[in-house]
Structure 1
């Protein structure tokens, strides 16, 4: 049974992580700091150190939370992957990944900031996503041996999707693809299904 104190801490941590997102959206990485986040969350900054350990650890928690980046569990929720062949596992993941990121303009804004102004704080978010990528590769591979080709191919497709989504913030058409439209992304998903089948076949050879 969760105590009242436990519920209060959980809510406070949730409020602090939400405040990180708002400060980043408004100020960018140059304006992020313990004082600014505490003020935004309306909490004493002591709680940030107590609950998270400091700004780097807070950003790591933010990077792994659903506030910024969809967790592997969120992306795979409701999908029964175990009985599915590898190609279909990959296809379902990429379709879900596209759909989720398209609904997260703040996430895309922060990704753009990371590219244009990398710093120690963006490196913390990068490290969090590295952990995410390792977990994802293992979950998609199941009991199969993870090869370097498997990791590289997944990473290339994830990076390509992110790039197209970032371009879609300002560009309607990229290389003939309508990246601001549902129909355009439907065509991209069809091509990804073909690529996933090729990836899985390559692993079996």
Structure 2
């Protein structure tokens, strides 16, 4: 009896992962407008009843996909292992966290074409699922900024504004690259050399913000 139950659980999880993968495939190839319960079920080769059984609704299937694939929701597991050998002080930690989160986001968006389509979806129309996800990203961001606020409170450097501009730049450069409309400021973002230049500058600009905060502290 236990083997039958275990097999049923494994089949359920495989079917759920297949459905999530199909959602990603459709977003990558057609954008969010191609999504629909009948289409997802057909491509996955399962009954659409399983979508309702396992997820409750098409919206919840999409919500599960967005959360499993979102960079910021899974940020801790993505970046913390890269910080173990580089952090010596609390200030080092805060600066490196700001630097590596931008660089890793740039790499994530570059290698994850579905994320580019989701980003375009988010800036082109309102969607309750994406709005909620954005709110949760802001909550995570607030946690990170609060760590740095004391260092910047006595200087004329606005880390939040600087970070926001850099973050917006990462998002736009990603969309620009995906549109295949040529280089940007003479940098070919489709080449490894171009990508390395952007990553290097992101780190430098965050580093300059921290350095200036120390130099201009009142």
Q: Would you call these one fold, judging by a TM-score over 0.5? A: yes
Alpha-carbon separation, structure 2, partners of 1:29 and 1:103: 19
**Aligned in 2, Cα 1:182/1:17: closer, same or farther, shift over 3 Å?**
same
The answer on whether the counterparts of 1:17 and 1:62 sit within 8 Å (CA) in structure 2 is yes
Cα deviation per residue 1:15-49 (whole Å; 9 max; x = unaligned)?
11111112223443333122211222222222222
Q: CA deviation at 1:119?
A: 4.8
| Residue in 2 that maps onto 1:93 | 101
**Aligned in 2, Cα 1:154/1:137: closer, same or farther, shift over 3 Å?**
farther
| Residue in 1 that maps onto 2:194 | 184
The answer on whether the counterparts of 1:87 and 1:200 sit within 8 Å (CA) in structure 2 is yes
Structure 1 gap ranges (5+): none
| Residue in 2 that maps onto 1:135 | 140
Normalised by the length of structure 1, the TM-score is 0.76
| Residue in 1 that maps onto 2:78 | 75
Q: Which has the larger radius of gyration?
A: 2
Alpha-carbon separation, structure 2, partners of 1:11 and 1:65: 15
> Aligned pairs, how many?
198
The answer on whether the counterparts of 1:137 and 1:151 sit within 8 Å (CA) in structure 2 is no
Of residues 151-160 and 190-199 in structure 1, the stretch that sits farther from structure 2 once superposed is: 151-160
2:180 matches 1:175: no
| Residue in 1 that maps onto 2:12 | 9
Alpha-carbon separation, structure 2, partners of 1:131 and 1:167: 26
The answer on whether the counterparts of 1:101 and 1:107 sit within 8 Å (CA) in structure 2 is yes
The answer on whether the counterparts of 2:99 and 2:206 sit within 8 Å (CA) in structure 1 is yes
Give the number of the structure whose residues are more often helix, by fraction.
2
Alpha-carbon separation, structure 2, partners of 1:129 and 1:197: 26
| Residue in 2 that maps onto 1:38 | 41
Normalised by the length of structure 2, the TM-score is 0.73
Q: CA deviation at 1:73?
A: 3.7
Alpha-carbon RMSD across the aligned residues, in angstroms, is 3.2
Q: CA deviation at 1:163?
A: 0.6
Alpha-carbon separation, structure 1, partners of 2:213 and 2:15: 46
Q: CA deviation at 1:72?
A: 1.2
SS of equivalent to 1:174:
coil
Q: CA deviation at 1:150?
A: 4.9
Alpha-carbon separation, structure 1, partners of 2:48 and 2:19: 10
| Residue in 1 that maps onto 2:208 | 198
Alpha-carbon separation, structure 2, partners of 1:33 and 1:96: 31
